A and B are shown apart, each in its own frame.
Chain A
Amino acid sequence: MDFYLAALIQGLCFSAIALGIFISMKIFNIPDITTDGSYTLGGVVTAKLLMAHQPVFVVLPVVIVAGALAGAATGIIHTKLKINALLAGILVMTALYSINLSIMGRSNIPINSVSTIFSLINISANPNNNTFWILIVFVAIITGVIGYLLKTDFGIAMRAAGNSESMIRALGVNTDRMKIIGLALANALTALSGFLVTQFQVFADINMGIGIVIMGLGSVIIAETLINWFRITSVWLSLVLVLSGAVIFQMVLAFTLSSGVDPTLLKLVTAVFVLLIVSLPRLSFKGSS
């Protein structure tokens, strides 16, 4: 497969995670580690249900609900038990490992014997182009839904909840409830990435989620840099930049691997890359002042 098309497809698969992290990180200022577990959960539920010959349109809502429950668990632990959000996420992520493993019953489920969203829908005769267009449509729909949501009265309240808690409480919003809903939404999106990737790579694996949160964070940080750079205030443009962030991230990784870096070092390269994009703006600031 064309090298950059592959990276593009990967990026599109991960754009749901990027949107999820955008919500937890940028809107609520919560670094949500649940992501690693809810992504795998999405993949595991997808593989298990597809192997049980459930149709994709049944699998999809179940995946969304599963991810949302995982996020809500983190939200409830964080807000009701007043436990640091990072720790709450780690707790749920750890618990999810066992949950995922018991759902799977073993550590890897191949699904090449059943049809997936990519083999069921035919937009193009070329399988790679077909995958690409299905993902484009899928991601466009998710982005449309999230963009619309953020423009509604509920969405404005959600954005305000992460921005000025005193103000939004004075305006009649239960910020705890809002955080729980926000984390549920973020992890539902993350689970959708698990849903897509599992069908794309035709297997689910118990370890597929390790370090995946960094993909989302990296994508959002790239987007944030661009948002600050161009002083973007539009919700729609911000979301499009988050999607671009996910694609750019995969492109850079693909480029690194193609330049001969050992695949065992992939996570190291990822971490260093994210470190670079986080620190570059600060370093250049220091130099100029």
Chain B
Amino acid sequence: MIDITQVHKVYNRGKANQVNAVNGVDLKISEKEFLVIVGSNGSGKTTLLNLVAGSVLPSSGDISIDGNNVTKKADYRRSEWIARVFQNPLSGTAPDLSILDNFRLAAIRTKRKGLSIGINPQFKKDVKDKIATLGMGLENKTEQLMGTLSGGQRQALTLLMSVMDTCRVLLLDEPTAALDPRSADIVMNTADKLVKDFGLTAILVTHNLKDAFVYGNRIIQMSEGKIIKDLNEQKKIALKQNDLFDWFA
């Protein structure tokens, strides 16, 4: 589904503060794989996700999605495959727009944003029903501005928004980093359910080793822009949570 071949991303090349944020990564992610990425701060996890999403273009190497070479494609042209949840809850939604407006945009992620009014009673009802599945009591607040919600609420809604339109790949960059334990649980459970229900290919970046242990069917560890560990499904099942802690010792 996603083929990353010898990808490098260099910031500030040739200057004293040059950073090899991603340093020769080879990674093949098959369809419906749920890949977990762990690694210390600055190891290049977000950069790798941005390279897949297209918000950062590689210095060298190739990236293809579903057989299409997307190496030079801008992020907004990769949205036909990719939906994403950002590290910062504020990045995935538009605060000055209503929840409904946000969902409307998500519902036409892969389509043309045309000159017709798409928010009709049926759409409002569909959104309400979807939001009700979260059990956060947000279904009656759909006319409110997104900015009036908490980070956890926004992050949970961003997740739901990602499957409003056809989606093949879901990128989750520390979706629970800013959340309290309860919201974090809701978000992770929802994410896991969506990945299974919709048969998504997913990449989860997390610092929460319990989540890294519980979720996903493959795990890699990054360090200084390189992949230093890669465990497939059997090996991940065999992995003990304590082994994971030892990775960071």
A residues near B (Cβ < 8 Å) are: 148-149, 151-154, 156-157, 159-160, 163-164, 166-175, 233
Contact of A170 among B84, B98, B104 (CB under 8 A): B84
Q: Which 4 A-B residue pairings sit nearest by Cβ, starting from the closest? A: A172-B79, A157-B113, A164-B94, A163-B94
CA of A164 to CA of B117, assembled, Å:
21
Contact of A164 among B53, B75, B90 (CB under 8 A): B90
Do A174 and B76 touch across chains, with their CB atoms under 8 A apart?
yes
Contact of B98 among A152, A167, A233 (CB under 8 A): A233
B189 to nearest A CB, angstroms? 23
Do A174 and B79 touch across chains, with their CB atoms under 8 A apart?
no
Q: Is B91 among interface residues, defined by CB-CB distance under 8 A?
A: yes
Do B97 and A153 touch across chains, with their CB atoms under 8 A apart?
no
Contact of B106 among A159, A171, A175 (CB under 8 A): A171
Given contacts A149-B115, A153-B116, A163-B97, contact A174 B55 (CB under 8 A): no
Most buried by A among B55, B83, B115: B115
A-B contact pairs, 15 of them (CB 8 A): A153-B112, A153-B115, A153-B118, A154-B114, A156-B105, A163-B97, A164-B93, A164-B95, A167-B94, A170-B55, A170-B75, A170-B79, A173-B76, A174-B76, A233-B98
Interfacial chain A residues near B97, Cβ < 8 Å: 156, 159-160, 163
Q: Per-position contact with A for B43-82: 1 when CB-CB < 8 Å, else 0?
A: 0000000000101000000000000000000111101101
Do A166 and B113 touch across chains, with their CB atoms under 8 A apart?
no
Interfacial chain A residues near B74, Cβ < 8 Å: 169, 174
Do B96 and A170 touch across chains, with their CB atoms under 8 A apart?
no
Q: Is B109 among interface residues, defined by CB-CB distance under 8 A?
A: yes
Q: Is B10 among interface residues, defined by CB-CB distance under 8 A?
A: no
Do B83 and A160 touch across chains, with their CB atoms under 8 A apart?
no
Q: Is B92 among interface residues, defined by CB-CB distance under 8 A?
A: yes
Do A160 and B101 touch across chains, with their CB atoms under 8 A apart?
yes
B residues near A (Cβ < 8 Å) are: 53, 55, 74-77, 79-80, 82-84, 86, 90-98, 101-102, 104-106, 108-119, 143, 145
Interfacial chain A residues near B84, Cβ < 8 Å: 170
Do B93 and A156 touch across chains, with their CB atoms under 8 A apart?
no
Do A156 and B79 touch across chains, with their CB atoms under 8 A apart?
no
Total A-B pairs, Cβ < 8 A: 92
Interfacial chain B residues near A156, Cβ < 8 Å: 97, 101, 104-105, 113
CA of A159 to CA of B113, assembled, Å:
12
Contact of A168 among B82, B105, B114 (CB under 8 A): B105
Interfacial chain A residues near B90, Cβ < 8 Å: 164
Closest to B158 in A: A167
Do A170 and B53 touch across chains, with their CB atoms under 8 A apart?
yes
Interfacial chain A residues near B113, Cβ < 8 Å: 153-154, 156-157, 173
CA of A154 to CA of B113, assembled, Å:
5
B134 to nearest A CB, angstroms? 19
B72 to nearest A CB, angstroms? 15
CA of A174 to CA of B114, assembled, Å:
14
Most buried by B among A151, A152, A168, A170: A170
Do A160 and B94 touch across chains, with their CB atoms under 8 A apart?
yes
Closest to A178 in B: B113
CA of A168 to CA of B111, assembled, Å:
13
B175 to nearest A CB, angstroms? 14
Do B55 and A166 touch across chains, with their CB atoms under 8 A apart?
yes
Interfacial chain A residues near B116, Cβ < 8 Å: 152-153
Contact of A171 among B86, B105, B114 (CB under 8 A): B105
A153-B117, A175-B76 known; 6 other A-B pairs, CB under 8 Å?
A152-B118, A156-B104, A164-B90, A169-B76, A169-B79, A171-B109
CA of A48 to CA of B77, assembled, Å:
44
A237 to nearest B CB, angstroms? 14
Do A170 and B114 touch across chains, with their CB atoms under 8 A apart?
no
Do B117 and A151 touch across chains, with their CB atoms under 8 A apart?
yes
Do B114 and A153 touch across chains, with their CB atoms under 8 A apart?
yes
Contact of B91 among A149, A157, A164 (CB under 8 A): A164
Do B96 and A159 touch across chains, with their CB atoms under 8 A apart?
yes
B141 to nearest A CB, angstroms? 12
CA of A167 to CA of B98, assembled, Å:
14
Interfacial chain A residues near B83, Cβ < 8 Å: 170
Do A152 and B117 touch across chains, with their CB atoms under 8 A apart?
yes
Do A166 and B79 touch across chains, with their CB atoms under 8 A apart?
no
Closest to B96 in A: A163
CA of A173 to CA of B77, assembled, Å:
8
Interfacial chain B residues near A159, Cβ < 8 Å: 94, 96-97, 101
